[in-house]
Amino acid sequence: MGLPIIKPKVAFFDFACCEGCQIEVTNLGTDLAAVLGIVDLVEFREAMTETTTERIDISFIEGSFTREADRKRLEDIRNRSNIVVAYGSCATIAGINALKNRFSSEEYKNMVYGKDMNMPHLDSQEAQPISAVIKVDYKLHGCPVNRNELAKLIVDLVHGKEPFVANSPVCVECKLRETVCRYDVGDYCMGPIARAGCGAPCPADGIPCEACRGCWDHPNLDSIIEVMTKAGVPADYAKVKGEMFTHHFFKEKDKIQR
């Protein structure tokens, strides 16, 4: 999908999230000036007061859909935009927010609000990715997104180039950078089922991959539970270990009995 104009109008929007992916935009440092040189930033509430009523070429949406009240705003963004990019795992796969989906709304409201849980204005449903509500043209995974990948996506879209979405397990990237496998140092890791593209920074930093980009297209969910159990993760916990970012993958596969 190409864009016919030189300086496309770009906007950033956010829903239920930590806004860390927007922070990653500011973390581009002076490279941000270069990005601003090729796009016309028209709306970005966290950093700008300006808004637009004109048609938007590329809208970036961060955050999950967690309440009906946000549906209209999402539909409105879709109607105003030529291209919609869900960026950050809250938007692409419901991310960390989906962890609460392990419980019923009664349960999680009670855990946080206790006696106030039944106040009528407390509205929060199951966390869902943006694609559950509107058509999403591109997904940029990651918690947070990799800012260089984000900059590259913008450059690709501006130049009409189809963006690359990694579709292999994180293990591939650990091998490429010669990181010792977490399983070889007595740890567990979600790498075998996790979507790559991040460059595998976590195992290189000495912590397991938590699959923050969700699963790649052909994850062996049975096998990862078995592998983790063999690595010493208690069998019950191995079943739910992957839920930090991949709750809905497991749920869809009906792997978790609750």
Closest approach, Cβ 202 to another protein, in A, equals 5
| E strand spans, 63-111 | 81-87
Give the C-alpha separation, 41 to 48, whole Å. Answer: 9
For another protein, the closer of residues 132 and 137 by Cβ is 132
Run of H or E residues at 34? helix 31-38
Q: Cα 204 to chain center, whole Å?
A: 21
CA angle 51, 16, 194 (to 5 degrees): 120
Among 10, 11, 15, 224, the residue binding another protein under the rule CB under 8 A is 15
Q: Is 182 in the site for another protein (CB under 8 A)?
A: no
Q: Which of residues 106-125 bind another protein (CB under 8 A)?
A: 107-109, 111-113, 116, 119, 121-124
Nearest approach in angstroms of CB 220 to another protein is 22
Q: Which of residues 46-105 bind another protein (CB under 8 A)?
A: 46-50, 63, 66-67, 69-70, 95-97, 99-100, 102-103
Residue with tokens 């991949």: 246
Tell me how far, at minimum, the Cβ of 24 lies from another protein, in Å.
Answer: 6
**Residue-wise DSSP of 178-212:** TPPPGGGGT---STTTBB--S--HHHHTTS----T
DSSP assignments along 236-248, one per residue: HHHHHHTHHHHHH
- Give the 3-state secondary structure of residue 78: helix
Check binding of 252 to another protein (CB under 8 A).
no
In the complex, the smallest distance separating the C-beta of residue 136 from another protein, rounded to whole angstroms, is 19
Exactly one of 180, 220, 237, 252 binds another protein (CB under 8 A); that residue is 237
Q: Tell how far CA 132 is from the center of its chain.
A: 14
CB of 79 to another protein, least distance (A): 19
Choose one: 4-12, 164-172, 204-212, 250-258; the region binding another protein (CB under 8 A): 204-212
Contact criterion met (CB below 8 Å) for 3 and 158: yes
Strands 40-44 and 56-62: unpaired
Residue 144: is the preceding peptide bond cis (ω within 30°)? yes
26 or 167: CB nearest another protein: 26
- Closer to another protein at the Cβ: 76 or 162? 76
In angstroms, give the least distance from the CB of 218 to another protein: 25
Enumerate binding residues for another protein (CB under 8 A).
14-24, 26-30, 32-33, 36, 41, 44-50, 63, 66-67, 69-70, 95-97, 99-100, 102-103, 107-109, 111-113, 116, 119, 121-124, 143-144, 201-202, 205-207, 210, 234, 237, 240, 244
